[in-house]
Amino acid sequence: MTAPPSEATLDLEGYHAGLRDYLSSSSVLDRWRGLDHATTEDRVAEHAQLIGELFRAGWSRYGWPVEAGGLGGDERHRAVFYDALSAADLPVPEQYSLLETLGPPLVHFAPDLAAAYLPRYLRGEEWWGQGFSEPDAGSDLASLRTRATRDGDGYRVNGQKIWTSHGATATRLVCLVRTGTAAERHRGLTMLLIDVDSPGVTRRPIALASDRNELAELFFDDVAVPADRLIGAEGKGWAVAMYLLQFERAMYAWLSAATALRRLRELRGQLTGHRLPDGAASRFGACYADLVALRARSAATVRRLAAGEPVGPEASVDKVLLAQVETGLHDLARDLPATGFLLGDDPAADSWRADWWYSRAATIMGGSAEVQRTILADHVLGLPRERGA
């Protein structure tokens, strides 16, 4: 089957069955199975090609509104899509992680921008970075300093962002900037869509311990941004950020769990014919149990999003479980000799090492595990605060 059935929007089971049939029968997709990459730039370039192929076949367009290049449906279609890719031993393209985070707020708060630019993202022609963190504003975004000053029909942006995911290769940035005073804190923030190739934008890739440019820092020197690049209203950027956070907690967690399941299968395959070290079997079981717990919790969050219900602070559970899955899986790969983790010079071993280094940030990026547990203690469990807090 090369084209999805028109009724797939309403029939989730039909969509899933047709998608599985397409993924298993299309020989074109074999190019991306078992493919490892030496650099981040190589990986995202290859994944862009895969995104384009999936878009042309039509299956990746479900779950997104027609007005923004999709074919209708909801978050459940996208969840099924990521599961099916991983089950077919295909990578979930790297760019989808931020599509899930940045696409929904654009659709909700800036439908004209979504109509203009989201189809390009869905086709793999471009992807975006998330410009939130700054050198002095990581966990406390209310203290960020990058400023957008009104200038006629637009804004002039000055400041710096750091630890920007996809910042080294992104075409555009969804940036949280200050348009009000510092004293206004959250109330003085605004969300803008900024082109990376605008005059005055400088980006510097950040090489991680793996020597891969997973992140970047960006500098804005009097960058002109048209007023029609507003996402939401001026001064209401915090509301956009909180809406965005639902998808970062829910859809990103589901997508990441699908990838982790594929990687766990790959790890098991690498051990065929090798004697397992003591305790390895139980650790495999623990990793799988953590994944099942994450998916059970994340499925409930995805269903709430699909029903149009707000996702509350309990979604912090998803974030805590995801960090546990990612660190546990990659620590297991590190400790199994068959992966060649320590001394192997083949692409597969290099890939496990790079992913292990990146997994070290799982308990920090997107909100540290300590912050997530505090949110759960305060707003879900209602526990008494520590004395002096």
370 and 294 housed in the same domain: yes
Q: Using CA atoms, how far apart are residues 359 and 341, in angstroms rounded to an integer?
A: 14
In a domain, 100, yes or no: no
212 and 141 housed in the same domain: yes
For residue 223, the domain's CATH number is 2.40.110.10
Q: What angle do CA 165, 354, 370 make, to 5 degrees?
A: 60
Q: Could you list the active site residues? A: 248
Residues with Cβ within 8 Å of 250's Cβ and at least 6 positions away in sequence, in order, are: 75, 298, 301, 302, 304, 305, 311, 315, 318
Neighbours of 91 (CB within 10 A): 21
Which domain-ending residue is among 68, 94, 120? 94
Look at residues 134, 193, 186, 141 and name the one whose alpha carbon lies nearest to residue 160. Answer: 134
In a domain, 122, yes or no: no
Strands 154-165 and 215-226 turn out to be antiparallel
Identify the residue whose tokens are 């699909």. Answer: 306
231 and 146 housed in the same domain: yes
For the chain, the domain total comes to: 3
148: Cα separation from own chain's centroid = 26
Contact 358, 210 (CB under 8 A): yes
For residue 329, the domain's CATH number is 1.20.140.10
pLDDT number for residue 389: 53
Which domain-ending residue is among 191, 208, 235? 235
Q: With a cut of 70, list the residues of the chain below it in pLDDT.
A: 1-10, 137-140, 387-389
pLDDT number for residue 236: 95
In a domain, 163, yes or no: yes
Domain hosting 219: range is 129-235
Instruction: Locate 52 and state its tokens.
Output: 């384009």
Q: Using CA atoms, how far apart are residues 249 and 245, in angstroms rounded to an integer?
A: 6
151 and 207 housed in the same domain: yes
Q: What angle do CA 306, 174, 373 make, to 5 degrees?
A: 60
In a domain, 123, yes or no: no
pLDDT number for residue 277: 85
Burial pattern 49-75, b for ≥16 Cβ within 10 A else e, equals ebbbbbbebbbbbbbbbeebbbbbbbb
174: β partners: 130, 193
Burial category of 281 from C-beta neighbours within 10 Å (exposed 0-12, middle 13-18, buried 19 and up):
exposed
pLDDT number for residue 1: 46
Q: How far is CA 184 from CA 142, 247, 356, in A?
A: 9, 26, 40
169 and 212 housed in the same domain: yes
Neighbours of 17 (CB within 10 A): 15
263 and 341 housed in the same domain: yes
Contact 250, 97 (CB under 8 A): no
231 and 262 housed in the same domain: no
pLDDT number for residue 97: 93
Three-state helix/strand/coil letters over the chain: CCCCCHHHHCCHHHHHHHHHHHHHHCHHHHHHCCCCCCCHHHHHHHHHHHHHHHHHHCHHHCCECHHHCCCECCHHHHHHHHHHHHHCCCCCCCCHHHHHHHHHHHHHHCHHHHHHHHHHHHCCCCCEEEECCECCECCCHHHCCCEEEEECCEEEEEEEEEEEECCCCCCEEEEEEECCCHHHHHHHEEEEEEECCCCCEEEEEECCCCCCCCEEEEEEEEEEEEHHHECCCCCCHHHHHHHHHHHHHCHHHHHHHHHHHHHHHHHHHHCCCCCCCCCHHHHHHHHHHHHHHHHHHHHHHHHHHHCCCCCCHHHHHHHHHHHHHHHHHHHHHHHCHHHCCCCCCCHHHHHHHHHHHHHCCCCCCCCCHHHHHHHHHHHHCCCCCCCCC
Q: How many CA atoms lie within 13 A of 144 on its CB side?
A: 30
254 and 231 housed in the same domain: no
In a domain, 161, yes or no: yes
227 and 137 housed in the same domain: yes
Strands 172-178 and 215-226 turn out to be unpaired
pLDDT in tens, 66-84: 999 999 999 999 999 999 9
Q: Which amino acid is at 139?
A: S
Q: Using CA atoms, how far apart are residues 353 and 65, in angstroms rounded to an integer?
A: 38
262 and 186 housed in the same domain: no
pLDDT number for residue 2: 53
342 and 260 housed in the same domain: yes
256 and 191 housed in the same domain: no
Which domain-ending residue is among 50, 75, 94? 94
